[in-house]
């Protein structure tokens, strides 16, 4: 329930309380009139119709006089002696007294309901729940009144059983928030077999793709693509790549899942007869190649910015290279060509100004870069054989 709803309920209760106060005043006035009529009727019954009117009817009293004083004066006889009260009159007075107490209880209930609203706090706002709480408050107030004021209450105003705590009967409606959409999971690579299944291969073809049929140490064509089977016990992915004209990093990426290779360790020796696929055939193989290439090029780019002189780092096109674009490359050729163009531009500027010291530094940079390029698993673009 919002603040405006609480204010509206409080305003409604104030209006109801004011209306009940007006009704109480009217009821009190009507009750006083009834009592006067009853007193007159009782006096006439005891004194007789022949008595003078001045003696039959008591003198008018001030409006401010208590009702008890008026009743006591009317009960006196014409001769000044105090008369006995009729049992009928006593029963009528008891019923009137009970009605007055019930009216007082109703007024008290309205006030109690207002305090209960502030105590319980926000609710669902249903009309049935509010009326239920008002009834509970009224029951608690009636039970707490003195016993002397309840013994003459008629059966129609019977005291109900003690009500439980209003808070326990107030149910707070809570709207459960909608479950947020789960984050998209990264697509799992399906490392399926290359091309044909084993059921589509003959016995000789199965033997060829598993052992190479004695053709170790050379690139062979199989029904599932080009492959290389190691022949010597000192061969590594790095040495095989240089030998057959395939980038060692590409060989590592394509075969690291089958051979359980880790951490770009392309210089570890392979067992004799180890099969290496050379050309990517499946989508997951191409994805591995792009991921590994981008990671290695990012490391090389950071290393160049760390150790190379400013006249290299501030020269285009190297200055325009962005790490986020490395994952979009289809090969390592662009990075190598951009780096070569940068060194050539720096060399041309040094020759124009005849800066011999820079020329010596540029020659060293060129040699060191080529060595680093090959050690991390790349080949110069002209050394890669197309297949």
Query: Using one digit for the tens of pLDDT, what is the confidence trace for 247-268?
Result: 999 999 999 999 999 899 999 9
Q: Would residue 181 count as lying in a domain?
A: no
Residues 148 and 228 placed together within one structural domain of the fold: no
Residues 296 and 350 placed together within one structural domain of the fold: yes
Residues 217 and 151 placed together within one structural domain of the fold: no
How many other CB atoms are found less than 10 A from the CB of residue 288? 21
Residues 375 and 300 placed together within one structural domain of the fold: yes
- Say what the pLDDT of residue 69 is: 44
Residues 330 and 274 placed together within one structural domain of the fold: yes
Residues 362 and 228 placed together within one structural domain of the fold: yes
The span from the CA of 102 to the CA of 121, in Å, is: 28
- Say what the pLDDT of residue 343 is: 97
Helix residue ranges per DSSP H, the chain: 3-47, 53-56, 67-74, 87-120, 127-143, 166-169, 203-211, 237-244, 248-255, 283-307, 310-313, 333-352, 356-375
* Domain final residue pick, 153, 169, 185: 169
- Say what the pLDDT of residue 297 is: 97
pTM beyond cutoff 0.75 = no
Closest to 110 measured CA to CA, from 7, 10, 9, 16: 16
Residues 158 and 293 placed together within one structural domain of the fold: no
Highest mean pLDDT among 28-32, 54-58, 78-82, 337-341: 337-341
Tell which phi-psi region holds residue 68, choosing left (phi > 0), alpha (psi between -120 and 50) or beta.
alpha
Residues 139 and 261 placed together within one structural domain of the fold: no
Residues 205 and 95 placed together within one structural domain of the fold: no
Q: Which residue has the higher pLDDT, 166 or 311?
A: 311
* Whether the predicted pLDDT of 82 surpasses 50: no
Residues 134 and 220 placed together within one structural domain of the fold: no
Domain encompassing residue 319: 198-383
Q: Would residue 180 count as lying in a domain?
A: no
pLDDT band at 91 (very low <50, low <70, confident <90, very high): low
Residues 158 and 207 placed together within one structural domain of the fold: no
pLDDT > 70 fraction of the chain, expressed in percent and rounded:
60
Residues 205 and 301 placed together within one structural domain of the fold: yes
pLDDT band at 45 (very low <50, low <70, confident <90, very high): low
Q: Would residue 146 count as lying in a domain?
A: yes
C-alpha distance from residue 229 to each of 69, 266, 345 (Å): 126, 16, 43
CA dihedral 280, 281, 287, 292 (to 10 degrees): -20
């Amino acid at each position: 329930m919002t603040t405006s709803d609480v204010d509206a309920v409080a305003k409604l209760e104030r209006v109801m309380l004011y209306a009940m106060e007006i009704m109480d005043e009217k009821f009190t006035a009507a009750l006083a009139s009834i009592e006067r009529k009853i007193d007159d009727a009782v006096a006439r019954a005891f004194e007789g119709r022949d008595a003078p009117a001045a003696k039959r009817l008591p003198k008018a009293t001030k409006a401010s006089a208590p009702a008890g004083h008026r009743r006591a004066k009317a009960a006196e006889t014409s001769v000044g002696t105090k008369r006995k009260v009729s049992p009928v009159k006593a029963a009528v007075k008891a019923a009137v007294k009970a009605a007055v107490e019930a009216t007082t209880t109703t007024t008290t209930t309205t006030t109690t309901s207002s305090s209960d609203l502030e105590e319980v706090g926000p609710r669902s706002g249903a009309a049935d729940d509010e009326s239920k709480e008002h009834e509970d408050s009224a029951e608690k107030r009636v039970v707490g009144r003195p016993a002397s004021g309840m013994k003459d209450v008629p059966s129609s105003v019977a005291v109900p059983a003690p009500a439980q705590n209003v808070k326990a009967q107030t149910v707070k409606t809570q709207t459960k928030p909608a479950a947020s959409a789960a984050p998209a999971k990264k697509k799992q690579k399906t490392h399926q077999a290359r091309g044909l299944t084993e059921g589509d291969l003959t016995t000789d073809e199965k033997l060829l793709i598993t052992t190479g049929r004695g053709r170790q140490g050379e690139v062979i064509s199989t029904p599932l693509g080009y492959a290389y089977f190691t022949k010597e016990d000192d061969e590594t992915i790095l040495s095989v790549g240089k030998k057959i004209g395939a980038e060692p990093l590409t060989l590592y990426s394509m075969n690291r899942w089958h051979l359980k290779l880790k951490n770009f360790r392309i210089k570890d020796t392979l067992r004799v007869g180890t099969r290496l696929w050379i050309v990517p055939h499946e989508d997951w193989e191409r994805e591995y190649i792009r991921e590994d290439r981008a990671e290695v090029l990012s490391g090389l780019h950071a290393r160049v910015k760390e150790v190379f002189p400013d006249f290299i780092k501030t020269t285009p096109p190297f200055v325009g290279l962005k790490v986020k674009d490395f994952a979009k490359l289809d090969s390592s050729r662009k990075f190598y060509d951009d780096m070569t163009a940068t060194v050539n531009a720096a060399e041309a500027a040094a020759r124009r100004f005849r800066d011999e010291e820079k020329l010596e530094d540029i020659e060293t940079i060129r040699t060191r870069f080529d060595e680093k390029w090959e050690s991390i698993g790349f080949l110069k673009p002209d050394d890669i054989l197309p297949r």
